[in-house]
Amino acid sequence: MAIAGISGFWQRGGMWVLGQFLLFALVLASPYFLSDLGVWHGIGHTVAGVAFIVLGLMLLTAGSLNLGADLTPMPQPREKGELHTTGIYGVVRHPIYSGLTLAILGYCLILPSILEVVIAGVVAYFFDRKASREEARLLARFEGYAEYRRRTSKLIPWLY
């Protein structure tokens, strides 16, 4: 039974969830081993960082609340889940990934290292790839997903 559970975890996209938590750990630990590399800082970085964190948390919260019981960390829709295309999902297809990326970018802007911003770029790339993986499954599962995808931005409202 344990093997079947582990196998199911990987089949549903568990690698992406594990990668996500490893990236979060890297972001949180990075000030302890990168703080002296490429030092730059100013009040503008702090203000921008806080603004990105607030906006990111707003997107993350709106996306989570909009999904309700359909929320899952896996890049596979719930068995009995529904397609959400209204609220924040009417503006962007992956507001949780957008919110996490913005919040991490904000956190990295507050810290005094250009390498922090590189880490934020890696996080953005990771969530873009995870969203693409998820979209393949959403296309297969929901008849109206192709039309929704055509008219709604992936991660950045009105841009991408």
**pLDDT tens per residue across span 99-131:** 999 999 898 888 767 777 788 889 999 999 999
Tell me the CATH number at 63. Answer: 1.20.120.1630
Is residue 35 a part of any domain in this protein?
no
Is residue 20 a part of any domain in this protein?
no
What's the number of domains the chain is made of?
1
**pLDDT tens per residue across span 129-141:** 999 999 999 999 9
**pLDDT tens per residue across span 45-87:** 889 999 999 999 999 999 999 999 999 888 888 888 899 999 9
Which domain range does residue 116 map to?
42-72+84-160
Query: Which 8-state DSSP code applies to residue 153?
Result: B
Of the candidates 139, 44, 30, the residue with the CA atom closest to the CA atom of residue 83: 139
Is residue 5 a part of any domain in this protein?
no
Is residue 89 a part of any domain in this protein?
yes
Q: Is 13 left (phi over 0), alpha (psi -120 to 50) or beta?
A: left
SS3 92: strand
Is residue 144 a part of any domain in this protein?
yes
Is residue 19 a part of any domain in this protein?
no
Is residue 25 a part of any domain in this protein?
no
Measured CA to CA, the distance from residue 116 to residue 142 in angstroms comes to 38
Sign of CA dihedral 76, 78, 79, 81: negative
Per-residue confidence (pLDDT) for residue 1, from 0 to 100 = 44
Measured CA to CA, the distance from residue 76 to residue 153 in angstroms comes to 19
Is residue 151 a part of any domain in this protein?
yes
